[in-house]
Amino acid sequence: MNKIVKKIFKSLLLTSFVSLVHNNAKADDAIMPGLDFNPDNDDEVSKVKKHITKNVIKISPTGRMYEVKEHRSHSSHRSHTSSRSGHSSHYSSTHYSSSHSSHYSSTTSGSTTSGRASSAYSAPKTPGDYSMGDRTIKQGTYGADVDKLVELLIKKFFLKPGQYKKKSGYYIYDATIAAAVRNLQRQAGITVSGNADKTTTGALQSWNENITIIELGFRDLANGDFGTDVNELVTLLTDAGFPPNPAKTEKKAGNYVFNEEIITALKMFQAYNGLAVTGSLDTKTIAKLKTFKKK
């Protein structure tokens, strides 16, 4: 192969290779020489060869060619990528971590706050949790507060002892108990509503049973009882012509005491009127006594 052919072949080889790597080899400091050079000009061929050998390819002793420019470009790219990766890593480790940490802290803080709220939360009361005065007691209400209310109404002579309706083991505030509450409200001089509000229960707790107006027949009198019902009995016996001996009667807290003298007068009244002589107040005896009541 003569010298000119070799030059042309070499030029074509280099030209083809340059075309293949042209898109990848974009060094900022290199200007790709034109491909339309004269192969007969040794200087131009030498110039192209040197430029490509130096900036584009490298031929190893074994004949393998390496794309130097692409290699550098890749290195530069990897370096740039690494730099970007480092920046990304920095962003991730700083901003994301901070954001995530902040979010986590906020979430944790929220959970803690929620935990405090939960600990402060009070479950709804059960019927047994109520104390008298905690709520207004109305018909249909039941619970520990109603039990206490009934206990005090009986003790202070506003309610007769008896078997009242219960629910879940507690007394139910029914019409009978409401009537006793209205009687208390009238005597205490407070609003008569029939509902046991805080004012009513407060009045009941401080009420002196010795001043309760007890109607005759409200209770079964026993020896030693005293109250307004005993006072009424003495008045009726006197009106009927069977007055107890004043010298043998006694009083307590301003009221007559149901004692033997009064019991004897009551037996005499029953005997005279054809009633069972028991010395106690049954419905027939009370009804007969009231027929003698003076207006």
Domains of the chain, first to last? 3-70 (no CATH), 128-211 (1.10.101.10), 228-290 (1.10.101)
| pLDDT at residue 294, as a whole number | 86
| pLDDT at residue 295, as a whole number | 73
Residue linked to tokens 């007769």: 160
| pLDDT at residue 206, as a whole number | 97
pTM exceeding the 0.85 threshold for the entire prediction: no
| pLDDT at residue 45, as a whole number | 55
Residue 212 contacts residue 151 (beta carbons within 8 Å): no
| pLDDT at residue 77, as a whole number | 45
Percent of the chain that is helix, strand, coil (3-state, to 5):
55, 5, 40
- Pairing between β-strand 251-252 and β-strand 65-67 as defined by DSSP bridges: unpaired
| pLDDT at residue 88, as a whole number | 46
| pLDDT at residue 30, as a whole number | 44
Residue 157 contacts residue 212 (beta carbons within 8 Å): yes
Phi, psi angles (nearest 5°) of residue 253: 55, 35
| pLDDT at residue 282, as a whole number | 95
Vertex 53: Cα angle to 49 and 58 (nearest 5) = 145
C-alpha to C-alpha distance for 22 and 33, rounded to whole angstroms: 11
Q: What is the mean pLDDT of each run of 10 residues along the chain (295 residues)?
A: 57 56 46 50 60 56 57 46 46 45 44 52 87 96 97 97 94 97 98 97 97 96 96 97 97 96 98 97 96 88
| pLDDT at residue 164, as a whole number | 94
User: Which of 116, 130, 176 has its CA nearest to residue 150?
Assistant: 176
C-alpha to C-alpha distance for 57 and 71, rounded to whole angstroms: 9
Phi, psi angles (nearest 5°) of residue 257: -100, 130
